[in-house]
Structure 1
Amino acid sequence: MEGCRRIIDFDGCFIAWAVVDSETKHSWSFFINYLKEDLQLGTGDGLTVMADMQKGFHAAVEELLPDTEHRRRARHVWSNWHQEWKGEERRKQFWRCSKAIFEVKFRSELDKMSKLGNDNCDDLLHYPEKSWVRAHFKEHSKCDVVENNMCETFNSWILSCRHKLIITMLEEIRRKIMTRQCDMIKFANTWISEISPMARLTLEDNKEMARGCKVLWNADVGFEIGEELEPEHFVEHWYRKDTFLKAYSYFIQPIPNMKMWPETNNPKIEPPTPKPMPGRPKKKRTKGKDEPKKMRYGKVSRKGGKRTCSKCHQQGHNKKYYKVQKHLAKVYNTLQKHLAKLHLQA
């Protein structure tokens, strides 16, 4: 793991995966114990773990990796806080707070948040700042992400495999990971410099902003901005090509077809015993309110489009408009007759 930064996102990751019956402290302890032994994590000193609010996870980490830095995914913090404090402006301000890179900037954005509600900041600070605010992250991992896009991408990537029999599922995931390693090595060979493409984009943006900075001299040997070196010298080695290739220097070896596997006396791997859950079983993951809705193939969203009536070919309504108008006219006539009858009786 020489080329990997010391951060592990627990949800779905290509470093290790396991099949369990449910997310509990016991299942998380089982998984983390093996991961701790294989990667020689010790007590977690110098390690960062990131996860959502999964059942039993926090207790298992505190017990097995007590010295690790523990981060929460900002989207899950937002989802819980959003239930009480809704609104588009609050959503935007939340992400400004989460992505602030200095504590002063975070406090400034938090003051702006307080103007959008009296107690919303108190509810937000119920979650430890060091777990979801970029300004409070430790620097040893060299990773400032506040989201889990890598894991969500992995989960979507193996979605077709997860509905198959357990041996077939694990074999297909193994093959996909083996192929991915080849793709990553080919990708590294397309780099035009020793710095990764995404890090290069960030570097170029920072160089562009630095052109507007002023260098202040103290009349001796000191300068306010820094030394006269190329900005590329300050890029961490984690974002360079040789480090990237080290992460993929160990390969998953191919194995024979399942029919060629030797027979053993070990117990057969069976799927976990299904537990009846209340309500109708779900086939899809429940998405957060801030997640984009994915349309089915061949379907186009009508949101934001103009409706055209198939009856009169005018825009702004559809043919159901006439049914509603007809119903309203019928109700209106009934009320008129009832009022006329009451007038005659009077």
Structure 2
Amino acid sequence: MPIPRWVRRVVIAPAAVCVLSGLLITMPVWLLVVGLVSIGLKGRRRLLRVVWLVTLYCVLELTLLLELFGLWLAAGCSAKRVRNPSFQLRHYRLVAWVLNVAYRQAGRFLKLNVVTDGPDPDAHPGRPLIVLCRHAGPGDSFLLTNALVNKYEREPRIVLKDTMQWDPAIDVLLNRLPSRFISPNPGAEGDAVEDQIAALATGLDENDAFVIFPEGGNFTPGRRTKIIESLKRKGLHSAARRAEKMIHVLAPRPGGVVSAFEAAPENADVLLVAHTGLDHLLTVADVWRELPMDKTITMRFWLVPAAEVPRGNPQRQVEWLYHWWEEIDDWIEQHHPATNRP
């Protein structure tokens, strides 16, 4: 059940500011204690790295909340005015700054290196983008959004899980920018969700990027099995057989993608994104064991011109989507780390 908006604004956000402030005030003590404890621990100073990342999260979360409150005051405490184009630009600049800081610090303390492969997403400048991204491993949405905002100067419109609204900064920020929080299991509200996705994809301009994760959730072997079984129960045996052959990705949910294709401008190119390097990290224990990660993450882009994207035929669009997800699965098979456990 979604958290009521007034609870998130009146209770959760102010409470988060108080808790984060308290944590940061006492952080020197925590760092000293952790530093002493970690002396006797094996594991390449894992505990210190975790505490530093938690500290960074607290600083950025608190900074975001205070900045967002300041922008609301600057807009005259008007929920409508704070969403006008000039204030949206200021919000996107705030997003760019936060992502840049987090990206640099994560790279430094986790020893991560991100490389890109494939066509440049800005090969067709001045045209809107529909971005379809594989969802697996920690931080993939963060890496993608950072690339779109800071490298390609795009303004993303993101479809994401409604549970992300538990984070006060994400809740306030993305509810002011074009985005949609949806349930990963909409049930009877499926049509309403697709209508929301269509509304979000409508009116994309030359520097917009509509971002959706067709799988609907992070890849896990258990989730893959459940989706295949669900397809079989629904009588979608052909889709189930194709899903069984894809061992690194989940079968895509086509409803949102089809709605986006039909609502987006006809000149919108499609960017497909896959990545590998962290996809074997399925649990908190996996992440802890790998710290510091000392890894290279490869992000692979495929850019499909608007003229090659099927329009007006949902059946062809579903077939097109499954074909590309099979291509992505093949690419991951060729590039995933030897430690991957599909």
Q: Give the TM bin, normalised by the shorter chain.
A: under 0.3
TM-score w.r.t. the length of structure 1 is 0.26
Q: Which structure has the highest strand share of the two? A: 2
Larger Rg: 1
Higher RCO (CA < 8 A, seq sep 6+): 2
TM-score w.r.t. the length of structure 2 is 0.26
Q: Which structure has the highest helix share of the two? A: 2
